[in-house]
């Protein structure tokens, strides 16, 4: 098997972008401890912290700029360890440099971002890996083997409970102070949601790994009243994201899945338990705690309980990073490695998370994090078509234009289809539906659109692709001086819906 690295290199020479806390123990040392792996350089915005990291870990090169580390010809693979909001942009830069890339989880803030990263790496046939590293740890590999060997019979159900106390900064604190110092995990624009995006994704992936793909997902996400006593009568909350999620689904054999995450529990109470029930036994384990793997089997009228002590490695990501290195140098084929984590399983997790959080954020297909006024979970679910408001129910817009005499067929031809980049811009700006009707007797065009936000709808006209479209259509319809079509907004006088 050939090396997947440039110049068929037989050693993976890593560069790390974002060498923060997770790199200190969990991942960073693995890059220079794994076989056929070297850590060449890191990139971090803080020069002092970056150089301190290099000194502690004996890393030869420090960079403060992403482009600079990507231009280092000695580096032939990249690990992205930054908040999810930056993953897409940096991954595209790695792609442009033809660098195999290993990305922290979650891969994207939603399924749309995740899918785009995966598809673009696929198109270029460039290796993409994601840090769902528990797939390579002995406790989870052993549980998977027990299930596959039928040690607990056929799986009938899987359940998970996570209860965590509220973060200390939100206990008897002041909303104004807490809001000004929120960790990125509590900011949807940075993380894609609440703590489930950073923590819950691990459990969903490892259940997918051990028990099979999850389907028919339904979820409910809420935000508990986390105001202080002093501020309980105000409308102020510490954060806007959800902090409780309940999720259900099933597996291919019909086994049921039920999960609960609560990140706003009482002090001193902590639970983190996966329970896998079968027809002849049961497995219980923790996702995050170094507790034993408990296996209970039925033998006649007796229950046999076995506690297997399978502690995590010193560096949590090292087994996965070693598997990645083996694939990159051509020692193993990616598709043949059971414990590998790629964009494929990352997409499945992203899809499940979008379904689980849909009732709280509404449409998660685009940059929902920029439109809090559309989040049903914040109480924004009333139908209001006032032109000065934003609503979770799509806002209706209608207007009339004109096509030149004899140009109706040409007009329709140019719209079947419209430019893909124009369609992408419309959807990205919150257009839910868009239809245009032709009135033969007057050559008028009646357009109807349902949109998420008036401000984003208005911004479409400022995009380069929209202005190019106006020029393209200018020869067959009346236009203004700026090439926009002559149009008149229509006033709604009647509406009915179910």
Around Cβ 248, how many Cβ atoms within 10 Å? 17
Length, in residues, of the chain:
498
* Alpha carbons 150 and 480: distance in angstroms, whole number: 72
485 bridge partner residues: 479
Q: Which of 356, 2, 31, 30 is nearest to 193 (CA)?
A: 356
* Alpha carbons 23 and 353: distance in angstroms, whole number: 25
Is residue 287 within 8 A of residue 274, CB to CB? The reply is: yes
The active-site residue, picked from 87, 415, 429, 495, is: 415
Let me know if 415 is a catalytic residue: yes
Is residue 106 within 8 A of residue 197, CB to CB? The reply is: yes
Sheet holding 12-17, edge to edge: 61-63, 37-43, 12-17, 77-80, 101-103, 128-130
* Alpha carbons 164 and 71: distance in angstroms, whole number: 43
* Alpha carbons 336 and 384: distance in angstroms, whole number: 54
Give strand ranges (E) for 106-185.
Answer: 128-130, 155-165
Q: Which residues contact 99 (CB under 8 A, 6 or more apart)?
A: 70, 75, 76, 77, 78, 126
Give strand ranges (E) for 76-225.
Answer: 77-80, 101-103, 128-130, 155-165, 215-222
Which residues participate in catalysis according to the annotation? 415
């Amino acid at each position: 098997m050939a090396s997947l690295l440039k110049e068929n290199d037989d050693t993976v020479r890593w560069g790390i972008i974002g060498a923060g806390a997770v790199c200190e123990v969990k991942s960073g040392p693995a890059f220079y401890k794994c076989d056929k792996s070297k850590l060449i350089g890191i990139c971090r915005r803080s020069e002092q912290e970056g150089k301190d990291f290099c000194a502690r870990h004996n890393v030869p090169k420090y960079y403060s700029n992403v482009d600079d580390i990507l231009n280092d010809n000695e580096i032939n693979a990249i690990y992205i360890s930054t908040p999810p909001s930056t993953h897409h942009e940096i991954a595209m830069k790695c792609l442009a440099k033809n660098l195999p890339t290993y990305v922290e989880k979650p891969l994207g803030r939603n399924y749309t971002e995740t899918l785009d990263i995966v598809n673009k790496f696929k198109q270029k046939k460039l290796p993409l890996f994601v840090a769902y590293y528990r797939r390579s740890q002995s406790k989870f590999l052993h549980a998977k083997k027990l299930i596959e060997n039928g040690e607990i019979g056929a799986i009938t159900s899987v359940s998970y409970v996570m209860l965590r106390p509220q973060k200390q900064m939100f206990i008897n604190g002041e909303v104004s102070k807490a809001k000004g110092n929120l960790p990125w995990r509590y900011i949807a624009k940075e993380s894609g949601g609440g703590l489930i995006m950073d923590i819950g994704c691990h459990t969903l992936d490892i259940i997918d790994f051990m028990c099979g793909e999850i389907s028919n997902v339904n979820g409910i996400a809420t935000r508990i009243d986390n105001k202080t006593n002093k501020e309980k009568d105000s409308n102020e909350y510490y954060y806007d994201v959800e902090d409780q999620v309940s999720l259900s689904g099933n597996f291919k054999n019909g086994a049921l899945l039920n999960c609960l995450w609560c990140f706003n529990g009482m002090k001193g109470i902590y639970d983190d338990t996966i329970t896998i029930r079968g027809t002849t036994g049961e497995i219980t384990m923790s996702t995050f705690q170094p507790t034993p793997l408990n296996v209970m089997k039925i033998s006649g009228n007796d229950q046999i309980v076995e506690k297997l002590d399978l502690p995590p490695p010193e560096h949590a990501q090292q087994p996965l990073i070693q598997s990645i290195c083996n694939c990159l140098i051509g020692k193993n084929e990616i598709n043949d490695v059971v414990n590998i984590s790629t964009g494929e399983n990352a997409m499945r997790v992203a899809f499940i998370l979008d379904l689980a959080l849909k009732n709280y954020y509404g449409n998660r297909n685009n940059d929902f994090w920029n439109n809090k006024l559309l989040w049903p979970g914040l109480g924004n679910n009333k139908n209001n078509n006032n032109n000065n408001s934003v609503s979770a129910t799509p806002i209706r817009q209608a207007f009339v234009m004109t096509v030149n005499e004899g140009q109706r067929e040409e007009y329709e031809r140019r719209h079947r289809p419209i430019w893909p980049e124009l369609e992408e811009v419309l959807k990205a700006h919150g257009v839910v539906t868009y239809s245009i009707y032709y009135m033969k007797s007057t050559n008028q065009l009646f357009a109807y659109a349902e949109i998420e936000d008036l401000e984003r709808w208005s911004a479409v006209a400022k995009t380069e692709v929209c202005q190019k479209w106006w020029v393209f259509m200018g020869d067959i319809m009346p236009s203004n001086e700026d090439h926009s079509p002559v149009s008149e907004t229509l006033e709604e006088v009647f509406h009915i819906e179910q």
